[in-house]
Amino acid sequence: MKFLDLAKVYIRSGSGGGGCISFRREKYIEYGGPDGGDGGTGGTVWAEAVDGLNTLIDFRYQQHFFAKNGQPGMGKQRTGKDGDDIVLRVPVGTEILDEDQETVLADMTEVGQRVLLAKGGNGGWGNLHFKSSTNQAPRRANPGQPGVERTLWLRLKLIADVGLLGLPNAGKSTFLAATSNARPKIADYPFTTLHPNLGVVGVDEVEFVVADIPGLIGGASEGRGLGDLFLGHVERCAVLLHLVDGTSQTIAEDYRTIIHELEAYGGNLAAKPRVTVLNKIDALDAEERAAARSELEEASGGPVMEMSGVARQGTTEVLRALRAQIDDDRLRRTAQDEEPEPWQP
């Protein structure tokens, strides 16, 4: 399924049906009087967060969502049929923005959450409503209320517990493939990852979700490379995993490049808890590894872990360090096989 995290939609709620002007005329009914029914209510447009979706690709092929109008009222005090509602089913983590792409109207963070986007118009009153002691044959009825027409933007921010950061070819996709069932594209050239990938990793009988986003480069906040287009997908993460290529000749500069882009992006992303890891240690000897780690510790001003995603060295320790930064209410317990009870005659 193709990944899409931004979509523009056009919605319109249904207009209410007009009221009816009618009089009851039957041969053996002495006093007939007005009997015009009310118009039906127009359909409403809703947005609902559903499980099982992680892309907005459906909204590329259908962008217009128009609810049905209410039917007009009829004689014999018959009310018109209400218009059918329309529901936009979106992935969990979708933000609904106004046409200016800045005003957030709703943030769909839970499965089953529903938000009203455009309310249907009320139906007009029939002439029966206007009957009074001084006006027993009213010849007026109200028109239905018009529907609401809006242009909205849907922006998906994946909900993950851990976000992977690093320069292109820092080993983020390799780490995700080594620790989960996700199969992101892996190759020996930069920008292999072109869209975010999600993987569920497990350690010490708990599971959490890791998001891998395309690598950042210097000037990403100004649009270089793929830009900071995908940083929104790690805004909701509890902790960031910053991978630094241990084989690079500019380790400290690589680290500072990512931190600078986080600060330029804003949104308190740079203040999130981070686990800094020196990756690809299988390609270094003991002396090179010690020098690289010392340089990275000096640049980061904090502890640095070592890991090799290809050789699966240190990955468990890294997962445990990430798990310690995630609140228990975000973790999911892995299913354990229950031992069968002993048979008793």
Taking phi first (over 0 means left), then psi (-120 to 50 degrees means alpha), and beta for anything else, what does residue 298 get?
A: alpha
Residue 223 in marked binding region: no
Residue 281 in marked binding region: yes
Residue-by-residue DSSP string for 211-252: EE-PPP-TTGGGT-TTTTTTGGGGTT-SEEEEEEETT-S-HH
What is the helix (H) or strand (E) element at residue 274, kind and residue range?
strand 274-279
Residue 310 in marked binding region: yes
Residue 213 in marked binding region: yes
3-state SS assignment for residue 342 = coil
DSSP code at position 328: G
3-state SS assignment for residue 298 = helix
Residue 258 in marked binding region: no
Of 48, 46, 20, 44, nearest to 34 by C-alpha is 20
CA distance 338 to 340: 6
Residue 214 in marked binding region: yes
Task: Determine phi and psi for 173, rounding to 5 degrees.
Answer: -65, -35
Residue 203 in marked binding region: no
The helices-and-strands tally (H runs, E runs) of the chain is: 5, 15
Residue 163 in marked binding region: no
Residue 73 in marked binding region: no
CA distance 316 to 179: 9
Residue 167 in marked binding region: yes
CA distance 210 to 336: 22
Residue 161 in marked binding region: no
Residue 215 in marked binding region: yes
Residue 309 in marked binding region: yes
Of 198, 157, 216, nearest to 1 by C-alpha is 198
Residue 257 in marked binding region: no
Residue 172 in marked binding region: yes
Residue 123 in marked binding region: no
Distance of CA 69 to the CA centre of its chain: 30
Residue 169 in marked binding region: yes
Residue 225 in marked binding region: no
Residue 127 in marked binding region: no
Q: Which residues pair with 206 in a beta bridge?
A: 203, 333
Q: Which residues pair with 173 in a beta bridge?
A: none
Q: Round to the nearest angstrom and report the end-to-end CA distance of the chain.
A: 54
Residue 194 in marked binding region: yes
Of 2, 319, 340, 334, nearest to 161 by C-alpha is 319
- Known binding residues are 166-173, 191-195, 212-215, 279-282, 308-310
- Known binding residues for GTP are 166-173, 191-195, 212-215, 279-282, 308-310
- Known binding residues for Mg(2+) are 173, 193
